[in-house]
Each structure stands twice: as structure tokens, then as C-alpha cells.
A and B are shown apart, each in its own frame.
Chain A
Amino acid sequence: MAVADFIISLLTFIAIYSLFGIGLNLKFGFTGLIDFGHVAYFMIGAYVTVVLTMPAGAAGYSGIGGFALPELFGVLGPLGSLFGWVLGVLGGMIAAALVSLAVGVPTLRLREDYLAITALGIATILTTVVNDEEWLFNGPFGINTVYTPLRDVFPLSLGGFTLNMAVFGILSLAVFGLTGYWLVRVFQHRGRRGRLVLGVLVPLVAVWYFVLPTLSGGMVELTRNTLWLFDPTAGPNGGMDYDRFVLLLSVAALGGGYWITERTINSPYGRVLRAIREDEDVPRALGKETFQYKLQALMLGSALAGAAGALWAINIGFIAPDQFAATITFYAFTAVIVGGTANNKGVILGTAFFWGIRNGTRFIDVPSQYSIQLAAARLMLIGVVLILILYYRPEGLLGEQDYDIPLPSRDASGGTDDV
């Protein structure tokens, strides 16, 4: 397996969990709601989407459905089944939002620590229900007949081998170009410490990605890593395989989720959310129904988690209740806090950091009987980093983000809400 394939699966993970984390950030970072049950909406989104899109009477499945939306709309034309899948995702998001509405109405009035514990409890109950009620979603056996949209189009081939290689290769190089351009811009705007970190990290990653595989695998490996969108072994003429499509889809969904939250929090509506986080009494004194705002933030965040769940399902191709343990919520909290609470870019950075450590250390060669030890050591490291960051840099690596219009603060010059 080329390094490129590993990077693609890692980036897909990061994109999906970043979307999940952005939903959490909307609740926790911008509105101040500690939802320890966030993973429940991830699970609901995954299950509802899968059940809405998979065919009825699938083998080995004894739960509700499926409702085969893509087949239903498939008669409309080639894009009909894609539309059916999108409808299924929307259904998953709406289901997640509705469940969070039902959870939020009673619990949002509680003290913040009681809210956290109650939300954790409800999420645990929901996971137990999905695990134990086989008539619902097949119980512990999970669902392995996940509908994957546009599956038959891939591997995508445009014509001959050379044409494929040229088109996808140019697109791959364009992505590298854009990344380089973005890195240079970030480099220019950072302080000395930021430049130092980038100046060390970027060459290291570049050596690891380009130089080391070339030394071991020759030009073939270098080509595969450089032209990463192009998989020469996919199909008769090479082309873009499904994993790469899922990556692009996840990144696009992440972009959409990012855009929606950015627009939300920068709007006057989002300012109310941020004011609720700082001191709920103030917006209330100004006549805002803060309870409704909190409820809506909870629903929007949960809907984003639901979308992430739908992507998770097509990425893994199999869903089961044990994938949605409460620890996933804690991992997302870690990612949000490490990257920067109330900073959507920080969420992506934190998620990349977390899953980079969690999955990236698999290149360290340890005898297989120590694999539990290695996994445990990684999580211990993450716990230590979490505590250190909270102590030395409580605002996270990137700090709180800038807003179009910040909340009024003492010096009124900053772009953040840091009061």
C-alpha cells in the first residue's frame, strides 16, 4: 500500500470527524453547551441514512426498513439515485436534530454540569437501545448493506491510461500547488514561533511523503504519491477509485458544514449565541429568548453530527453500535480543545492532530503482542497533551477565532470575543 493510500484514508477520517467536531464546536465552543452525548447524533445520522437508502429485505438484516430511496428516485435518471441518497442524508440529519430537540427541551434548563452528565447518560441509553433491540436496527450485528452512492461510476476512467493519468495528475498537482500557496500565506502571517514550527514540520512531512518512499520503492512510488488522485491499478485504464471519491465527498461536506457554521456564528443570530456563552443573563435582559437559541444551536450541531455519521457509514461500509461509544465524544472534545475552542479552523487542526497521533503511529514497528500497549500509550499521550494544553494554552493552539463583528469588549479593538 502506497503512502498515498494511507494518507487518503487518514484524511477521510479527519474530514468526517472534523465535521463531527464542528457540530460539537457550535454547541460547546460558540454557545457554551456541554453536550457529552454528541456521539448519539452521529449514530442516529448514520443509522437513519443507511436504513433510508438501503434496499428492503437485505440478507442478514432483521430491523426496520430499508426504504431504498436511491432505487425509488433512480427511475428519474442517472442522477436520481444520488438525489435519493442525498435525501437519505437529509433524513438522517433531520432525525438527529429531532432527537436532540427531544433531549434538549428537558435538559437545557439544567445546571451545566448536570447537563453534561445527563447528556452522557442519554447517549449511553440510546446506544444500549440500538444494541439490544434487534427489531430496530439489527442490534449488535450492525448493518453491512450500506448503500454507497455512485458506486458503479467508480473507478472513474475518462478514456485511455495516458489521458487518465494526465487529467487526474494535473488535478493532484493543483491540490499540492494550492496547499503550498496556503502554507506560504500562513507562514507569512505567523509569529516567530509559528514560523519555526511550520519550517520544521513541513519539510519533515515532505521528506516522509516524497523522499522516503522513493528511496524504498523507486520512481513508481514517487509517481503514485505525487499523482495521488490517480490509481493506476483501478480498472483497466487506471483512474480514480472509490476511496478517493469518498475523501473528496467528505472534504466537500466538511466545507459545507464549515461554511454554514461560519455564516451562523458571524450573523447577528450567532452573536446572540456567543453572548449566551459569555453570560446568559445579558441577552435575556435584552429580550432574547435564550432557551430557543440554545435549542436551535443544539439541533444544528446535532444535524452536522448526523451528516458526519452518514459519511462515516459509506466510508466504513458497515455500521454497528460499538462504533459509537461515548469515548468518541470525548475524543471530539479533545480535538476541539486542543485546536482551539470556538475556532472552526482549530477544530480541523485539533482533529488532524488527534487522529494523526491515534492512527499515524501505526508506522512504528512493534511486535503484534504489544499492540494494546501501543494503543494505550497513544491515548495516554493524548490525555497528557489535553491537560498540558488546558494549563498552558487554555484557548487552544489557534485560540478563539476572529468574527466579522466581535462582542463588545473592554478595549473594543480585538477581533475575538475574548473579554
Chain B
Amino acid sequence: MQRNDALRPVPAPEPGAVDTKRPNPSRLPMTTRWLRGLAFNRIGAVYVWLGIVVVFSIWVPSTFPTLSTVKQVFNANALTALAALAITIPLAARVFDLSFAYTMTLSGVITAHFLGVGVPLVPAVLLGLGAGVLIGVINAVVVVVMRIDSFIGTLATGSLIQALITMATGGTAIISTRLQGGFAKIGQTNVSGFTLPVAYVLVVAIAMWFLLEHTATGRRLYATGFNSDAAKLAGVRVDRLRFMSLVVSGSLAGAAGLVLASTIGSGDPSAGTSYLLPAFAAAFLGATQLKHGRFNAFGTLIAVLLLGTGTTGLGLANAPQWAADMFVGAVLIASLAVTGIQRRSVTGSPGRLRSLLQRFRAVAG
């Protein structure tokens, strides 16, 4: 580094800016850091979630504020969380994997089929997982090698997977007594009221948090997502990262599909489809939490918790069937709008109300 000795720092007095040598935020006092961490624009969803808890505790005081509700929220939403985590890594690199729901179905059906014909547990499970990996590789070839837009490309592969499943199963679920033994334990084992998938979620989330926050790969994934041209010119292997991200989402979707099949005890040829929209909803809502605008594991979990608590509460309050869907839609639009407005007011553009008014005016006039 001896050549750098020649660098004489040139005074560049610029207006209004402060020197770099001020202590940076990571060295702020503990209390300040905590207060910042609790700011509404960082974890707005947590406050909304608390509000929901309060509302339902008043609305249905006999059944909602109980331990069994807590268990129900966790157990019922563990699979949504797994699905949402599966797509978080590709989304960080701005790659959509719309086929993940069909991959879930596929791996469940394949495992159920092989178990049903008498293949032992471990090979059957490996075959199911392998199907997920294979779909991930196919997606990656379509998106990265063939350069087809990921949104449309994975929509297409998803459609093909569903066609294949229906062709093979004839549209009926695979049910067998062989699905009851060891296989059922994967999803149905109960540890003091919580099912095993809750633990899977935590493990995957922690691994993903570490990857995205604390490794070079994670930083490069975000750079790829935000500005792939700049990332490429800075030496990041953008194509390889996108390829791997789709393989990861395929593999995780395959694993989630196994857990799903174990939980419902059958190889249902449409089991995964219902997770498509909730998973994307949670991932996008999660991106507004903790790390402004970055898809991140714990943000995704917060989002799943928020949406899951609301729908569970509505169920306990005997709200009609459509109320849950309406709740999810309303929360998504409200939370994304609020974070959007907040971000604009941070960047020094017109205030919240003003910018809303201006936009209404622009639309009206």
C-alpha cells in the first residue's frame, strides 16, 4: 500500500456537508440505537400487529388472548412463512419465482407417490427434494441462460409443472397408509403445542439472515437487485448469483412442499397453489420492515405474523369467509402506501398529505 502515501488529501470544502470523521451510527449509544430500532418507519408492521392484538382481545376476549391462539397462529402460518422465505432470496436479486407454489405441490406429490408404492422414507424424501432442486435449475436456465424475464418465465414453468402433476395424478390426491408413519412426523410432531415446521421456519430464517446480512454473497445479491449493471461492472457475477438464487428457491420450495404433504397427510395435486399470493404478500410487506426496501428474512416473518394474526382473529370472531382476504388486501395496500409516503418525506420531497393531494390533483386534472 506504499503507493498511497502519495495521496495528499485535497481540501474540498463543500457546503453544508459535515466531515466523515463523526462517529457513525453503529457506534451510537445503546439507548439511541434501541430507540432508532423501534422507530415506526422501521418496524411499522409490529405496531400494526400490536393494534390488531388489542382490537381482537377486546372483540373476542374469551378466545383470542389465549395461549392456544398463539400456538394456532404459529402452527397455521409456518408453511406460509417457509414459502415466503423461499422467494426472499431471488427477490433480493430482483428475480421472481412464481413457480415456487407448483414446485411445492410437485415435491409433495412425488414423495407421496414413491412412499405409496413402497419406497422407504429417506429415498422418497430425497426424490421429493431433488425434484425441487431440478425445478430450480430449470428455472435458472430459462431465466439466466435463455434470458427470459423471470416473471413470465417462472409463470410458464409453473404452468408446465402443474400440467405435469395433473397428468400424472389424474387430479386426485395420493392417499396411502404409508404416509402415516415416519413421514407424518416431519410436519405433525408436536413439541409443547408447537409443531415442528415452526422450528424449520426459525432455522431457515436465521440462516437466511446470516447470508443476507453477514456474507459477501448477501451484499452482492442486494447489489444485483438494486442495480445489476453497476454490480456487474464492479465485478459481481450477476448471472451466477441469479442462477443460484433460483436454485435455492426451488430447493426451499421443494422442502416446504414435503412439509406440507406431511402435514396434510396426502399428495394433493393442488396443495401449493394457495400459498402463491400470501407468500408474495408477506415478502413484499416484509421488505418494508427493518431494512428499508430490502427483502429480508425477519421482515418477512414479521409480515407473516401480522397477516396470520389478523386472519386467525377474524376466524375466532366468526367473521365471514371473505373477511380474511379483504383484511390481507387492505393491510398490504395501507402498509405499502404508508412506507412509501414516509420514504418520500425523508428524501425531502413534499410532505405526506401534500404529496397525496398533489397526486390526486394530477389524477383528477
Please indicate whether A and B come from the same complex rather than being unrelated chains: no
